[in-house]
Structure formats: structure tokens, C-alpha cells
Amino acid sequence: MNADYSKQNIEFNIINNGTITSVPGFYAAACHCGIKGSGKPDMCIIYTPEDSTCSGVFTTNKFLAAPVSVTKEQLKKTRNIKAIVVNSGIANACTGEMGYKNAKKTIEIASKYLGIDKDKVIVSSTGVIGKQLPMDKIEEGVRQCAVKLSNIDGHSAAEAILTTDLVTKEIAVSIKVEGGNDIIIGGIAKGSGMIEPNMATMLSFVVTNIKISEKLLDEILLEEVDSSFNSITIDGCQSTNDMVIVIANSKSSIEIKNKKDKYYKKFKNALSFVLKDLARKIILDGEGATKLINIRVINTKSKFDAKKLAMGIANSNLFKAAMFGEDLNWGRINAAMGSVDCDFDPEKVDIYIGDILIVKDGMGIEFDRKYTEKLMKEKEIKFTVNLSYGKEEFSVLTTDLSFDYIKINALYRT
């Protein structure tokens, strides 16, 4: 996943300083409407005047935040979405009937100020749990954003969706189209813990100018989210507000009709790159993270097994603390895998750090400790675990567990 991009058959280019508004026909504006006490931007609208196809993937947490419930309902009515209203500072989660009504009300307000059908608006929130949205401020925020929407200021939207994040997360790529408008994909994301249910969450909004059916876009998104946002973990926790939204506005004149289509594979690869890049940026901004750890589990019977084992290692506090201490403690990898509910033969497990074999057939072996000590000191560390009983694999990105993780999450006050 922090993959050797060079090895891929890349058929797209990264746009310098790219963001969502690098995509033709998309507009964005942000403002500070007063939800955050800090004076930082806390509201944005992403908008396209074109007809669109929208696809979404949402948290499976049972305490579903109101904006997630309402957005899911909206997408059942139509996938032709023209606006996303996002606020940060308050998550509108665990807010009951009033929270639900406020999310619906936000849609009505946006519909009024943008002059579009209310079925074509979706909402998203991130911030503290258990507080109601201040609807007067929401209305003022929507009003201000609507006024500024002739701008194409995607960077300001990327900033407005942040909570405990330290940096914005943005990217845009282009796919060359001969004799036509290039296909552009742009995305923004937030999330500094995988979740931090009080002041963070994982959100991503991606837009593109292709024409595509709901069914095909759903399929591609689901598959690519699995190997990007669902392949990262900071603390194994999952938010009440997580969502990934893709909107395609048909501006490029390119239509992808089916999997055999000339641009299908090119689009899928480029979207995959965008989602993985945003996921990677979330991990790099992980709460208190000093290391980026790539855990690749290979040669399992199913992808599902490989994912369970990789996540088992990635979420082991003992393993993560050892990474922070730069100690190549392979016993913690073994112990974490052994606890996972998954059949494998522990006596056939090989473990590598970088290209160096450190565990063979489940047992530690002699290796060049001077060299591995050097690898452990690097910012990015890569482990490969070979289960030797199949052909599937899965990679997970995670962080170490540092003093700062505790500081951020213990000393923060509700």
C-alpha cells in the first residue's frame, strides 16, 4: 500500500497542488461559522451544478451518527447528488431525534441557499459526540459558503473538515484522454486517529468528471475502499461518523459503461491510487505516530484470512509499543497472530523485515542485527509474513503506539 508506485503500470499523472476543485465542474467553499471555539474553519460545501452519480461507504458502528443515517436515506432516494454540506466541531452523534431532525434541517437550509432540490444534498459531520448542532450557526455557515461557491477553493474545504488533524489531506490525478477532456479525480480526507470518537473521525470526499452507472461505481468503490481506508488502523477503533463519498459529474464526455470499457481499468487504478494516497496521509498524521508500519501477510487461503492476521498484528498494543521503542520484537508478531481466530500452521510461518528473513518455520533465526537495527530506526518499516498455505494476500498500514498517543487521548477534555 505504501507501494512501489514505480512498479505499477501507471496511466495517470498526479496534478501539482491538486484537490477536489481540480475536477471540472466542482466547486467548494468554506468558512468559520462558530461551531469550533478556535476560530478555525468548521463548515464547507462541495458542489456541482451538473447531474451526477454518487456512491457512499459508511461506518458499520451501531451508534450511527445522525448525518450518516440521513445521508444513507438520501442516497436511497436518488444518486444524483449536487451538494455535500460538511461541518466539523460537532459530530451530531448520540443526539437522538433532535440530532436526526437537525441533519434533515441542514439539508433544507442548503437546498434553499443553493437553489437545488433537497433530495440532491447530503450531509456529514465530525467532532464531539453528544452535542446538538447550533442550527443558527449552521444556517449562517451554509449561507456564507453558498455566497462563495463561485470560487473553486478545494483547499479551504480540505481544511474545514479537520479536527485533531495536523495537516490537510488532498490529491488530484488526471488520466489522459485522446481527443477529449482528460478524466480528473480529486479527493480530500480527514482523520488523525483511525477514529477518535470525540474530536475526530475518518471522512473522505472524492469527485470525478466521468459518467458511470451507480452499480459500476458502487462496485469499484467498495473494492477500492477495502484496500485503502479499510486497510489502515491506528487504534482499532471505529467511529460513529465515518464515510467515504464519491461523486461523478459526467463533465469529461467519457462514459464507462462496463468492465470491458477502455477506461474502466485506468479509472479504477487511478481511483485506487487516490484512495490509498489519502489513507496513507491519514496514517502519517496518526495520533502521536512516529512510525508508519506496513504489514503484508502473503500466501493465505483467502484475502479475508490475510486481512484478519494483518489487522491482528497491526492492532496489538505490544507490537505497536515495540515499534515505538524501535525494538525488533518478533515474538509479539507471533503472539498477535496466534490469537487471531484463523487456521494456519504456526510451524510454517516466515517473517521478514524489509528483505531480511528473521523468523523461519515459526522460530527465530540468526540474522544481521546491525542491519535490522538500521531498518528499525527508519520512519517507514515493512514486515512481510508468509503463511505458506495459499495464494492470497493483504496489506495493512498502521502506526506505532507512542507516549503522544496517550497524551492526545488522555489529557484531552470532554
CB of 376 to a second copy, least distance (A): 11
CA angle 382, 385, 387 (to 5 degrees): 165
Q: Which stretch binds a second copy (CB under 8 A): 18-26, 88-96, 145-153, 258-266?
A: 88-96
The grid coordinates of residue 385 equal 509474513
Residue 390 binds a second copy, judged by CB under 8 A? no
Minimum distance, C-beta of residue 216 to a second copy, in the bound complex (Å) = 30
Minimum separation from the CB atom of position 5 to a second copy (A): 31
- Report yes or no: 206 and 274 within 8 Å, Cβ to Cβ: yes
Instruction: Output Rg (C-alpha) for the chain, integer angstroms.
Output: 22
Single out the residue of 203, 183, 182 nearest to residue 191, CA to CA. Answer: 203
Site string for a second copy, 53-72 (x = CB under 8 A): -------xxxxx--------
237 binds a second copy (CB under 8 A): yes
How far is the first Cα of the chain from the last one, in angstroms, to the nearest whole number? 35
Our CB check for a second copy shows the closer of 180 and 346 to be 346
- Establish how many alpha carbons lie within 13 A of residue 16's alpha carbon, considering only the half-sphere containing its beta carbon: 0
- What is the spatial distance between Cα 34 and Cα 67, in angstroms, rounded to a whole number? 19
Residue 398, beta-bridge partner list = 233, 293
Give the interface size with a second copy as a residue count (CB under 8 A). Answer: 64
> Is the CB of 253 or the CB of 339 nearer to a second copy?
339
Among 325, 373, 377, 380, the residue binding a second copy under the rule CB under 8 A is 325
Does the footprint of a second copy cover residue 413 (CB under 8 A)?
A: yes
- State yes or no: residue 192 binds a second copy (CB under 8 A): no
Residues recorded for the chain: 414
Break the chain down into helix, strand, coil percent, rounded to 5.
Answer: 35, 25, 40
Amino acid at 130: G
Q: Which of 10, 94, 357, 375 binds a second copy (CB under 8 A)?
A: 94
CB 313 within 8 A of CB 333: yes
Q: Which residues are catalytic?
A: 201
C-beta separation of 151 from 44 below 8 A? no
Q: How far is the CB of 380 from a second copy (least distance, A)?
A: 18
Among 41, 187, 193, 286, interactor with a second copy by CB under 8 A: 193
User: Could you tell me which stretch among 12-20, 29-37, 147-155, 341-349 binds a second copy (CB under 8 A)?
Assistant: 341-349
Q: Which three cell numbers stand for residue 118?
A: 433537497
Pick 25 or 193: Cβ nearer a second copy: 193
Interface residues toward a second copy, by CB under 8 A: 60-64, 93-96, 128-130, 193, 195-198, 235-240, 315-318, 321-322, 324-325, 327-332, 334-340, 344, 346-347, 359, 361-364, 401-403, 405-407, 409-414
